[in-house]
Amino acid sequence: MSLRAGVQLRRGTLDLSVDIEVRPGEVLALLGPNGAGKSTLLRCLAGLAAVDAGRITIDSKALDDPALAAFVEPEDRSVGFVFQNYVLFEHMTVVENVAFGLRAGGTPKAQALAIAHDWLKRVGLAELAAARPNALSGGQAQRVALVRALATSPRLLLLDEPLAALDVGTRAQVRRDLHRHLESFEGMAIVVTHDPVDAYALADRVAILDAGRIVQIGTLAEVTARPRSRYVADLVGVNLVSGDVSEGVLATSSGARVVIADAPAGPSLAIIRPHSISLVRDHPEGSSARNVWPGTVVEIDRLGARARVSIEGKLPLTAEITVAALESMQLRSGDDLYATVKATDIEVYPA
């Protein structure tokens, strides 16, 4: 069982154009900023929206293919959907919610309710079977929404920000439970999230969706080791610089020059880790640091014993220094200074 989806769709300001593949039994996390098109992509896969162009197939069966005028209705796709706000049916009990899909598929009532009870037992909610959805906590409602989707044995399970509506206290527990259930789920799954912790805990691979395009796909370790978008760099907390490498220097479009140790010529990306940046008030003489960039402090964030200093200039950077250093330098917003980095501390890879 595998999913291949080429999706092209324009909706208002969103211009979605992606190509993804989910392998048999795989859990793929879809990570990206708000408005990137994550939910719209899920709706296309579920059949709640039709693609303008492209082709969605599961096991080479076309679910949506405008070129062939093929469109399979959502109810015939065997694609489960767990909505962000769970959308449990308020006028039914919890067990009736879980049995809904089976009933809709023609399973006799008694049998459907029995199966639904088993599912509830599996997630430890058997005692809430007769409750109304509005009596559930967020974590419980999330589990009910999950087993309601799983009870129909979908080939593909879509989860739209499954943990976003939960408070921090319950999120970790629900995340662990969700991981367990996705492990035992045999179909494919796509989890939309904007929290890399969720992606790390739940998914085998991560796809980064930004402004309607997949900018990076791979394991979370691969993606974070070599960010290819500002979004991922911000998630990981590193400075990402793009430019052209020639003769040991990476030149950015804004005119900054970054001296690097060694890298093949051509369009490249470089990451500068905030803790490898030193800040000095006066231009350093006789330093081993090959890079000295002038800049202006625009923001200082204190995080415990460390402080993150945002610097504007030809090369915008975030540096991380100790609060002790911050205080001895008496840094304020608006101060002019120099940021220095050793060429060997900069990691460069082809764009």
Range 142-161, binding another protein (CB under 8 A): 148-149, 152
| Residue 185 within binding range of another protein, rule CB under 8 A | no
Total interface residues for another protein by CB under 8 A: 27
Least spacing, CB of residue 34 vs another protein, in Å: 14
Looking at the Cβ atoms of 48 and 131, the one nearer to another protein is 48
Least spacing, CB of residue 314 vs another protein, in Å: 43
Looking at the Cβ atoms of 101 and 295, the one nearer to another protein is 101
Which residue is it, tokens 């049998």?
111
Least spacing, CB of residue 103 vs another protein, in Å: 8
Q: How many CA atoms lie within 13 A of 292 on its CB side?
A: 13
Least spacing, CB of residue 141 vs another protein, in Å: 12
Looking at the Cβ atoms of 87 and 236, the one nearer to another protein is 87
Amino acid at 72: V
Question: What is the bridge-based pairing of β-strands 205-210 and 213-218?
Answer: antiparallel
Looking at the Cβ atoms of 145 and 206, the one nearer to another protein is 145
d(CA 52, CA 66): 7
Range 71-100, binding another protein (CB under 8 A): 73-81, 83, 85, 87, 89-91, 100
**Residues whose CB is less than 8 angstroms from the CB of residue 168 and which lie 6 or more positions away in sequence, other chains included:** none
For another protein, the binding residue among 24, 25, 105, 294 (CB under 8 A) is: 105
Question: What is the bridge-based pairing of β-strands 306-312 and 257-259?
Answer: unpaired
Is residue 293 within 8 A of residue 259, CB to CB? The reply is: no
Least spacing, CB of residue 13 vs another protein, in Å: 19
Q: Count Cβ atoms within 10 A of the Cβ of residue 204 and give its class: 0-12 exposed, 13-18 middle, 19 or more buried.
A: middle
Range 220-279, binding another protein (CB under 8 A): none
Least spacing, CB of residue 30 vs another protein, in Å: 17
Q: Which stretch binds another protein (CB under 8 A): 20-28, 41-49, 216-224, 233-241?
A: 41-49
Least spacing, CB of residue 174 vs another protein, in Å: 19
Overall residue count recorded for the chain in this entry = 351
Is residue 332 within 8 A of residue 256, CB to CB? The reply is: no
Is residue 186 within 8 A of residue 25, CB to CB? The reply is: yes
Is residue 191 within 8 A of residue 27, CB to CB? The reply is: yes
Is residue 291 within 8 A of residue 239, CB to CB? The reply is: no
Interface residues with another protein (CB under 8 A)? 43, 46-48, 73-81, 83, 85, 87, 89-91, 100-101, 103-105, 148-149, 152
